[in-house]
Amino acid sequence: MHAIKKIIITGGHPAPALAIIDQLKKDHPPVEIVFVGRKYNNAQEKSESFEYQEINKRSIQFINLDAGRVTRVFSLQSLLNILRIPFGFVHALVILMQQKPNVILTFGGYLSLPMAFIGYLFGIPVYIHEQTIRPGSANKIISYLAKKIFISFEQSIKFFPSDKSILTGNPVRTSIFEDNHGTIVRDESVPCIYITGGSLGSHAINILFENIVPKLLEKYCIVHQTGNVEAYGDFNLLNDLKKSLPSNLQKRYILKTHISNEDIGAVYKAADLVVGRSGANTCFELVALHKPALLIPLPWSAYDEQQKQAALLSSFGAAELFDQYDSSMDLLELIYKMMDNIKVYEEAYQKISGIYKSDAVSRIITEIFS
């Protein structure tokens, strides 16, 4: 194995990155880890990102990369983002000159491209991991510079150079399997629904539930992860709704901006049904845990990747799909239907084989070190 003293981990998908980081700290404690990412949820506000909070908890150096990107929606802000793209490459140059890592491991997204490109020019080995069925533009570009490409789905290999691609599966954080009881106390007398919009939360999902939460709480306990994007103020809005409810229903409604690593295992264990987006990391966690899911794909995800991933789980009968533009009442009826037949969805996971690979983390680390 190579003597790797320092590794930079970067990219826009924190969940698999955290899985790798935790294993590195356990198996290779002398290796210094530096995380290059996004400190704030967006450029307009100063609410701390999920990855920044989690990296800080692990006492790992976090460097905020100021990089621009191309978005699919045209606005003044999108124009400013494009103009910031060159500054991202200059900032990446400064970071790499200061840090001098032996290896760069990227997890896709606009933050990955400047780090991988400048790293390649410096002769630093670049490794990438692709979570989705169809890769985004950044990873497709980086693949030509990368030493090795780790993919989660077999269907992804056609988008990359085959001689460098390895089907490892998607790293899943071990904390989802650990029920440490955490800090969340729920009403155990009724079934539980976990609503999540991913690390940023989902304004569209939060609004869908605003009208039907009181009805759901009559039959179920709800753990609702709202995100903390200040522009929407969803947590405060839903917290005001909670305060307006009778005290017995208030106790059944657990609101969090983020679910911490310490709590996520307990939340998943408690959840009879998970409602959320269908990003690759969410889908792999659902498969690993055999959790029935009501998936609401992000309509503008790159190459419709979330729709494809949700359709895959739905094709096995383990999940249902819902369009975020449909009505709250339609969502309520679908939840009732799923909760009444929850065992059918649980048993459907027996048909899914080969998607989740429990050794994904160890395989990626072995490839990097060997």
CB atoms within 10 A of CB 58: 14
Residue type, 320: E
For residue 230, pLDDT over 70 is answered with yes
For residue 71, pLDDT over 60 is answered with no
84 annotated to a ligand binding site: no
CB 109 within 8 A of CB 128: no
Instruction: Output phi, psi for 240, to 5 deg.
Output: -65, -40
SS3 132: coil
Instruction: Output phi, psi for 241, to 5 deg.
Output: -60, -45
Q: Domain segments of the chain: what residues?
A: 6-171, 178-351
Summarize pLDDT for 35-56 with one digit per residue, the tens: 998 888 776 667 788 889 999 9
Per CATH, 6-171 and 178-351 having the same topology is answered yes
Summarize pLDDT for 163-200 with one digit per residue, the tens: 999 999 999 988 899 887 667 878 889 999 999 998 78
199 annotated to a ligand binding site: yes
Summarize pLDDT for 202-229 with one digit per residue, the tens: 999 999 999 999 999 999 999 999 998 8
197 annotated to a ligand binding site: no
12 annotated to a ligand binding site: yes
10 annotated to a ligand binding site: yes
**For the domain bounded by 178-351, which CATH number is listed?**
3.40.50.2000
End-to-end Cα separation, the chain, in angstroms: 5
SS3 212: coil
- According to CATH, the topology of domain 6-171 is Rossmann fold (3.40.50)
Q: From start to end of the chain, where are the E strands?
A: 6-10, 32-37, 61-64, 103-106, 126-130, 148-151, 165-167, 192-196, 221-225, 253-256, 273-276, 293-295, 319-321
What average pLDDT is seen over the chain?
90
152 annotated to a ligand binding site: no
Q: What is the pTM of this model?
A: 0.85
**Rounded to an integer, what distance in angstroms lies between the CA atom of residue 168 and that of residue 207?**
37
